[in-house]
């Protein structure tokens, strides 16, 4: 077993000083050609690579970025993560991933763990609990320390920092409008409890579209489900008791579940009921019938977030200019598939 070799060992072995070795490896012209070659040959032979930790300590930058997401087993977050990882990779950054599990406390703990030197900046989507409590002191502290932070998807107006979101309101408006134009009159909305800012915005888009097309808002057409808990009973009761000809869902899981219940009740999709869901993941593509959905372009979102973060990190190194924060908006796209394709009657 050969432990990694250090500058000191090379220096001792070759009977030169540590500084000479360091300089030789960087092709400094201070060092003679002879010595340089000798040192480089030796270093190569022993696979010398500088120790990242020592470099981090010296340079005060780790080339690590911290990503905290509420849930990794969730298609949307996974794609965002992938975008982040891909972009970070091209820039020579590593990604430390933490999962908050929708818990405020885990979010805080994870942030504290990483904030003490392990990373150069954060990319984060707020946990459900954090959004509910509206307690953002941990984020404020991070910002106050001068550590770059980018919020994505689950953002909060109270936190002043760079953000990446999709145009939830407009996308939802557009989807609802599409259903209306297809002749649907009784359009249901299946959403989460309202503390999630994205669900709220999507609901707003739905309201506005109804209003603009002179359809009245019927509270009976709205089903609010707990975010993760699978409340099949509630959904079944909803479908049994409600007359509708279209459904808009704030995520694809809700949509696919709802489709199955409707089909179980003998409804034809899209003839009797049309469906549209947010999150264009594998579920939408492989559902039966294939689900029309709103692509959130998670991967692109991740890329943009990573780009914003890394730019800020590397700009911080230069000069401390006036702080300015941007919010990037990714345009959602409606992907039409079988669940809406046929015009009604």
Q: Which residues contact its own copies (rule: CB under 8 A)?
A: 1-4, 47, 49-54, 56-57, 62, 64, 72-73, 75, 78-79, 81-82, 85-86, 89, 92, 94-99, 106, 110, 112-118, 141, 144-146, 253, 256-257, 259-260, 263, 282-283, 286-288
Tell me if residue 5 falls in helix, strand or coil: coil
Considering only 57-65, 155-163, 168-176, 179-187, which stretch makes contact with DNA by CB under 7 A?
57-65
Neighbours of 58 (CB within 10 A): 9
Q: In 3D, which of 119, 100, 116 has the Cα closest to residue 108? A: 100
Measured CA to CA, the distance from residue 218 to residue 260 in angstroms comes to 23
72 binds DNA (CB under 7 A): no
Measured CA to CA, the distance from residue 28 to residue 24 in angstroms comes to 6
Min separation Cβ 52 and DNA, Å? 9
- Could you tell me if 63 and 40 are in contact, meaning their C-beta atoms sit under 8 angstroms apart? no
Among 41, 50, 90, 230, binds DNA (CB under 7 A): 50
Got the DSSP string for 279-300? S--HHHHHSSSPPEEEE--HHH
DSSP 24: H
Measured CA to CA, the distance from residue 163 to residue 329 in angstroms comes to 8
Among 8, 44, 285, 326, binds DNA (CB under 7 A): 8
Nearer to DNA, 7 or 246 (CB): 7
Phi/psi for 5 (5° steps) reads -85, 150
Among 1, 2, 12, 23, binds DNA (CB under 7 A): 23
Among 32, 90, 194, 265, binds DNA (CB under 7 A): 32
Neighbours of 46 (CB within 10 A): 15
Among 1, 34, 92, 229, binds DNA (CB under 7 A): 34
Q: Say which entry of DNA, its own copies, none residue 228 contacts (CB below 5 to 8 A, set by partner kind).
A: none
Measured CA to CA, the distance from residue 163 to residue 156 in angstroms comes to 9
Tell me if residue 17 falls in helix, strand or coil: coil
Nearer to its own copies, 210 or 250 (CB): 250
Min separation Cβ 256 and its own copies, Å? 5
Nearer to its own copies, 66 or 205 (CB): 66
Measured CA to CA, the distance from residue 81 to residue 87 in angstroms comes to 10
Min separation Cβ 210 and its own copies, Å? 28
2 binds DNA (CB under 7 A): no
Among 2, 47, 60, 345, binds DNA (CB under 7 A): 60
Q: Site residues (CB under 7 A) for DNA?
A: 4, 6-8, 15-20, 22-23, 25-26, 29-36, 48-51, 53-55, 57-58, 60
């Amino acid at each position: 077993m050969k432990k990694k070799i250090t500058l000191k060992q090379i220096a001792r072995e070759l009977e030169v000083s540590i500084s000479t070795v360091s300089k030789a490896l960087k092709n400094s012209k201070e060092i003679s050609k002879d010595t340089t070659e000798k040192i480089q040959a030796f270093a190569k032979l022993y696979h010398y690579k500088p120790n990242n930790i020592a470099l981090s300590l010296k340079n005060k930058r780790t080339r690590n970025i911290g990503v905290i997401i509420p849930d990794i087993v969730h298609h949307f977050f996974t794609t965002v993560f992938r975008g982040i990882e891909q972009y970070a990779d091209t820039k020579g950054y590593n990604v430390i991933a933490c999962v908050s599990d929708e818990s405020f406390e885990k979010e805080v703990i994870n942030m504290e763990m990483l904030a003490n030197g392990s990373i150069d900046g954060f990319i984060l989507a707020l946990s459900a609990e954090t959004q509910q409590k509206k307690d953002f002191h941990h984020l404020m502290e991070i910002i106050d320390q001068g550590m770059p932070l980018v919020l994505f998807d689950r953002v909060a107006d109270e936190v002043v920092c760079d953000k990446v979101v999709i145009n939830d309101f407009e996308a939802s408006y557009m989807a609802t409008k599409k259903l209306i134009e297809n002749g649907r009159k009784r359009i249901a909305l299946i959403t989460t409890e309202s503390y999630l800012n994205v669900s709220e915005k999507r609901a707003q888009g739905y309201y506005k579209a109804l209003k603009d097309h002179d359809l009245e808002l019927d509270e009976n057409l709205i089903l609010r489900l707990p975010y993760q808990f699978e409340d099949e009973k509630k959904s079944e009761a909803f479908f049994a008791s409600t007359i509708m000809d279209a459904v808009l869902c704030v995520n694809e899981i809700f949509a696919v579940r709802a489709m199955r219940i409707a089909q179980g009740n003998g409804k034809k999709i899209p003839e009797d009921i049309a469906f549209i869901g947010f999150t264009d993941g594998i579920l939408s593509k492989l559902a039966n019938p294939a689900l029309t959905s709103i692509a959130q372009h998670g991967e692109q979102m991740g890329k943009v977030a990573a780009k914003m973060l890394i730019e800020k990190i590397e700009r911080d190194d230069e000069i401390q200019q006036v702080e300015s924060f941007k919010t990037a908006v990714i345009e959602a796209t409606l992907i039409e598939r079988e669940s809406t394709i046929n015009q009604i009657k």
